[in-house]
Amino acid sequence: MDPDNQIIVALDCDNRPTAEDTVDRLGDECSFYKVGLELLTAAGPDFVKHLVARGKKVFLDLKLFEIPNSVAGAVRAAGALGVSMVTVHSMGGTSIMTAAVDAARAFPDLRVLALTVVTSMTDEDLADIGVSDSSEQQVLRLARLAGKAGCHGVIASPQDVAALRSTLGSDALIITPGVTLPGETRFEHARPGTPRAALAAGASHVVVGRTVTRAPDPAVAFRLVQAGLRTAAPAGVE
């Protein structure tokens, strides 16, 4: 896969002008952006349409967790916007994920991704909600469930990638938020990793946020991530 298309920049902004400025400064360097709940709420779906109209791919990170009918409606709305990926929460179970997959069939280019365990959660956090297994065990359980429901892939931490690739096979998309460059702070992520390590372990895409968006020159920062992916070792090699 072309490294240029494996990097998704997270526009975790609270307003449209800031997001547009980041996209403008990155220019042709970046072709794929993540829009999450904060920016979608602040800027609305018109900003998503704006990105698509500019020829950008959009990963709409909604983390849908609702009754199946509502999830299906949201996926259809996402497909109508022209986005490339949309997320559903795997903890909602098979019926929710199946509803999302079924709704996406009307949009051949739309991929449904199941969020497994958010990268900020620890084993202690899982215990708080009654899950006695480790985060690694829970990730694999939910990933298998997502596969059976027909999801095109999963969202998981860089540290989960190798086990997921072995479990899900070569065709599944594995998107990893929580990546940071060597020496950077881990921010709020409990299970981080570098873009290079994530790709080497078998990730299909990495999501980078503040590493790029808060850099003095986002385009230079993006190229650093890009260069690291181009020299990534084969899967299973550190």
Active-site pick, 34, 56, 57, 63: 63
Q: How far apart are CA 140 and CA 90, in angstroms?
A: 11
63 is catalytic: yes
| Position 47, amino acid | F
| Dihedral sign of CA atoms 197, 198, 199, 201 in order | positive
Q: How far apart are CA 29 and CA 32, in angstroms?
A: 10
Closest CA to 80 of 58, 64, 96, 113: 58
| Position 104, amino acid | A
> C-alpha distances in angstroms, 48 versus 84, 118, 176?
11, 23, 21
The set of catalytic residues is 63
